[in-house]
Every structure is written in C-alpha cells, then in structure tokens.
Structure 1
Amino acid sequence: MKKIIFLLTMATSAITFAQENSQEVTQPRTVQSSNDISSRKHELRIDALKLILMPSLEGTYEYIYSQDFTFGANMSLYVGDTQDDILGEKFSLTPFVRFYFQEKQKYDGQGFFVEAFAKYSREKYETESYTEYKYDFENNESTYNTVPSKTDKYDAGSLGMAVGQKWVNKSGVCFEVLAGVGRKIVGSSEALDFTPRVGVNLGYRF
C-alpha cells in the first residue's frame, strides 16, 4: 500500500512538473519588433502649406530622444519669383528643441509641445526703379535721371518660441501644426524685427 501511494505521488509530481515546463516552453514571448513605432527615433516632415501657398520647400528632421524631449532642425528654401515673396525670405535654417507635455500618449514625441528655436535667414529682394529729378539753377535746366532697380541681400539671426500639436499613427505617419514668433537679435537693419514660425507638416517616423 505504501509503495502504491509512493508511486502515485511520484507520478503526480512528474505530471505537474511536465505541465509547468510545457507552459514555460509554449508561452509566447513579447519581442519588440523593428516595425514597432515605439522603437523608431527619427522623423522627417515637409510643410505642405508653404509648398502650396508660397511656394517654398521646407523640410524638418527631428530626433526622438525621450518620451518628452526631442531636438532637430528645419531648413527652408524659397523657389518662387522674388516679387511673389511676401516676407522676402529666400533661405532659412532653424535648429530647435522641444518639450512634449503628454500624459496618456501612446508614442514618444507626440501630443502638445513647446519649442525653443534659433533661426538664421537670408533675404533677397529687389528695389523698385525710380526717376530722380534735378534742377540746375545756374543754367536754368531740369534733368531727369532714371535709377534702375537692383537686387540686394541681407542676413538675420533670431531667437523665438513656438507651440504646436503632433499626431502619430501606428504606421508611423505623422501630422503636425505649429505657430510661433522669433525676435531678431543680429542682422541688417533691413530685416524684420520679428519673424514668424508657422507650419502644417506631414511626415514619417522611421
């Protein structure tokens, strides 16, 4: 009788041990896929609004450093006619840092953000031609001199802040809107004292 009880106990223990090992072997492991958005740290975007309205080619790169901190740079190149350029800006380079304020966002670098930026810009503009009038009192003669238009450039540097909102879907497509303003700190007196920073950006995280 004791042998039977002993054998039953051993058999029960063996079955239980085998079931536990089987569960450990067959239990699926959660492996972070390379396609998971959470593992992607790089983002490229273009400004669709400026491309349509100005037209200006403006691209942005952003590195997702952590859940609430990112940094990157924006570059803009105006490709339209000079006279159609409302702001006169031909080229700009804008490095920036961002702080995201998210509580229940699914991915890093998503939601409402505050941005600090430094901007270098170059403007190319044309002065209008005009007629200059002179009167010679000694000879009692009037002369008219036409001054032709000319092309000129100036550089400017500014510091500013912006706020915005970014959305990212599970495929990595992102949409962003932002608005802000910078103040000129160095540059030509011809440059504007304030420079806007606005955008409606569409991009992809990889």
Structure 2
Amino acid sequence: MKKILIALLLLTSYANAQEESAISSKKNEFRIDVLSAVLSSKISLSYERFLENDFSVGININYSDSKKLTEDFEDGYTNNLAKYEFNPYVRYALSKSKTRYYFAEVFGSYNGGDFKEIIREENGGTAIYTTKISNYTDFGAGACLGYKMYFNDSFALELLVGFGYNFANTDKSPDKISRVGINLGYRF
C-alpha cells in the first residue's frame, strides 16, 4: 500500500511539473475583460509578455461608448465621461505555481474623455448660464492585486482589483482611476 501511495504522489508531482513547464514555455497572453463588457459596455483588451523571475509586462486598452454612461453624463449625474484609457503595467507573481497564482501589479494610465461644466456668461449686462463640454486627458498611476488560473495549459481566468490617481488635469478628469475586472485569456 505504501508503494502505491508513493507511486501516486510521484505521478501527480510529475504531471504537475509537466503542466508547469508547458505553461512556462508560453510567453504571450491576450485577454478580454468580460465584466466591463457586460456591466458598462466597455471594450477592454490586454496583452501580457512573461519574463523571467516571476515578472511580466503588458498593456491594457479600454474604450467606452456606453449608452447608459452617456445618458448619465448628459442628464447631469456625472461631470466627466471616460472614453479611452491606455494602461501599461508590470506584474510580479506572489505565488510559486505557474498555473494558479496571486500577483501584484503597478500600472500607469493615460486616459481621456469628455468634461461638462456650467459656466456664467455676461451678455450686455445680463448673465446667462450655459453648459460647456470639453475634452480632457490625464496621466495617472496605481496598483492592483489579482489572482490568475490556467486551464488546459492555455486558457486563463483572471480576477483583478486595483485603484490609482490622476495627476495632471484633475480639475477636469476623475480624481480616481480603477482597474477592476474578470478577464478571460489565451496564453501562447
């Protein structure tokens, strides 16, 4: 019985090592954020390149043209409407497994969209208030924590939560930026 138990343990550790080496040989991954697509009609795509020593680098691109968010902006519930975002990032795997692991991420953000403000205009001694819509762009930085797991050596499921702050144009842009998502991906 001991011999059978030892043989099973060796076999499972060998299978796990084979799976981890198969994952390690694949250095590229594409992902799509299904949470953003379902909840806010936002397209969010990511590319990640895996480096040595548990590090990876990548870029995330978001574009939003949601009818609901546009209606909220037009109805005055919010004064800025984010349209696009480019997020380069660096990740470090906190777990030693290559198939299921936690990670920490530091990201930058270049984002932009529309800003709406009510301004007062003088017209021959009469003051009128009008709504002015302008564009904004801003730079920010933040951090994330997440968990990633692989199925069949290539298919990924990733959970991600993170926040950051804009720096340059905070009178028009949102003060806080977020990276929250449930991503499905393919590693090759």
User: Shorter-chain-normalised TM-score: which range?
Assistant: 0.7 to 0.9
1:199 to 2:181 alignment: yes
Gaps of 5+ in 1: 1-31, 137-142
Higher deviation after alignment, 180-189 or 45-54: 180-189
CA RMSD of aligned residues (A): 2.8
Q: Distance in 1 between matches of 2:45 and 2:56?
A: 16
1:92 to 2:75 alignment: no
State percent identity of aligned pairs. 31
- Aligned-pair distance for 1:171? 3.9
Indicate the SS of the match to 2:107: strand
1:178 to 2:160 alignment: yes
**Which letter maps to 1:91?**
Y
Q: Distance in 1 between matches of 2:24 and 2:147?
A: 18
- Aligned-pair distance for 1:156? 1.1
Indicate the SS of the match to 1:83: helix
CA spacing shift, 1:155–1:203, aligned 2, 3 Å = same
Give the one of 129, 133, 139 matched to 1:157. Answer: 139
Alignment of 1:1-206 (within 5 A): 36-66=22-52, 68-81=54-67, 82-84=70-72, 88-103=81-96, 105-107=97-99, 110-127=100-117, 147=130, 149-206=131-188
Q: Distance in 2 between matches of 1:46 and 1:200?
A: 8
Indicate the SS of the match to 1:186: coil
CA contact (8 A) 1:133 1:144 kept: yes
**Which structure is larger by alpha-carbon Rg, 1 or 2?**
1
CA contact (8 A) 1:178 1:198 kept: yes
Q: Which has the higher strand share?
A: 2
Indicate the SS of the match to 2:36: helix
Higher deviation after alignment, 192-201 or 82-91: 82-91
CA deviations over 1:124-168 (Å, ceiling 9, x no partner): 24457x99999x7xxxxxx78573x44321111111111000011
CA contact (8 A) 1:49 1:199 kept: yes
TM-score by length of 2: 0.74
In the alignment of these two chains, the number of paired residues is 162
- Aligned-pair distance for 1:38? 3.0
**Which letter maps to 1:122?**
G
TM-score by length of 1: 0.68
Q: Distance in 1 between matches of 2:164 and 2:66?
A: 24
CA spacing shift, 1:70–1:45, aligned 2, 3 Å = same
CA contact (8 A) 2:115 2:172 kept: no
Q: Distance in 1 between matches of 2:129 and 2:72?
A: 24
- Aligned-pair distance for 1:118? 0.4
CA spacing shift, 1:106–1:182, aligned 2, 3 Å = closer
